[in-house]
Chains A and B, each alone.
Chain A
Amino acid sequence: AQSVTQLDSQVPVFEEAPVELRCNYSSSVSVYLFWYVQYPNQGLQLLLKYLSGSTLVESINGFEAEFNKSQTSFHLRKPSVHISDTAEYFCAVSISNFGNEKLTFGTGTRLTIIP
């Protein structure tokens, strides 16, 4: 079975500073990888995903993540954060043969932006 580890439960960052949220996964087969974001009092939203092709994927609001197969990682980065990025971020993995059927989430990282 696959699993996801998000080592940082909380990450405080000053506004306009860079940030990296770490995600490591475990799976014996090929995977799809996702980052979901949950803004305060809202539902989970897909931020970005890796299914195949380029290992570097980007979101529309400046986040990017790189699939590193050798490190089994899918870390999320942003070069300059804004107050509006305050949210909880969840990494998720599924077995590529099954798509969404076996989507496993990490425990989440709460990103707090300090003005």
Chain B
Amino acid sequence: EAGVVQSPRYKIIEKKQPVAFWCNPISGHNTLYWYRQNLGQGPELLIRYENEEAVDDSQLPKDRFSAERLKGVDSTLKIQPAELGDSAVYLCASSSGPGELFFGEGSRLTVL
């Protein structure tokens, strides 16, 4: 069974440029999460989807970040425009019930 797939693995951009990350969760997993992990820190939740509905986006900086999960499967996280402080690893995870999140390998963003 394929795991959570994320792309790109690495992205280097200049500040004020846009960037997008893509996530394909495990088949059948209705819940999808986007986390951000800063260097030396644990992951912090940005947004959680139940199917195509964003049920918790309280930590998403909505002035520059947006996300969508069309048809309740794949998801895209966008940053526009990127700032220096957005450099981090962006993690996607999915789950089918309480007790375990399955994470992708992450997308490492460097903003110059």
Q: Which of A43, A100, A106, A108 contacts B103 (CB 8 A)?
A: A43
Contacts A43-B104, A44-B103: A99 and B42 contacting too (C-beta < 8 A)? no
Chain A residues 31-46 with CB under 8 Å of chain B are 32, 34, 36, 41-46
B residues in contact with A101, CB < 8 Å: 48, 55-56
Residue B40 lies at the interface, judged by CB distance under 8 Å to chain A: yes
Q: Which of A4, A32, A42 contacts B99 (CB 8 A)?
A: A32
Q: How far is the CB of A50 from chain B (nearest CB, A)?
A: 10
Q: What sequence of 0s and 1s flags, for each residue 89-101 of chain B, a beta carbon within 8 Å of any chain A beta carbon?
A: 0010101011111
State in angstroms the CA–CA spacing of A34 and B100 once bound together: 8
Contacts A100-B95, A105-B43: A49 and B103 contacting too (C-beta < 8 A)? no
Residue B31 lies at the interface, judged by CB distance under 8 Å to chain A: yes
In the complex, which of the residues A34, A49, A99, A103 has the most CB atoms of chain B within 10 Å of its own CB atom? A103
Q: How far is the CB of B96 from chain A (nearest CB, A)?
A: 10
B residues in contact with A42, CB < 8 Å: 105
Q: Which residue of A lies closest to B104 (CB)?
A: A43
The tally of residues in B whose CB lies under 8 Å from a CB in A reads 26
State in angstroms the CA–CA spacing of A99 and B43 once bound together: 17
State in angstroms the CA–CA spacing of A4 and B45 once bound together: 14
Q: Which of A43, A99, A106, A108 contacts B97 (CB 8 A)?
A: A99
B101 touches A107 (CB 8 A): no
State in angstroms the CA–CA spacing of A37 and B98 once bound together: 18
B residues in contact with A94, CB < 8 Å: 98
Residue B14 lies at the interface, judged by CB distance under 8 Å to chain A: no
Q: A36-B103, A45-B103, A99-B98 are in contact. List 8 more A-B contacts (CB 8 A).
A: A32-B99, A34-B100, A43-B3, A43-B104, A46-B100, A99-B97, A100-B101, A108-B42
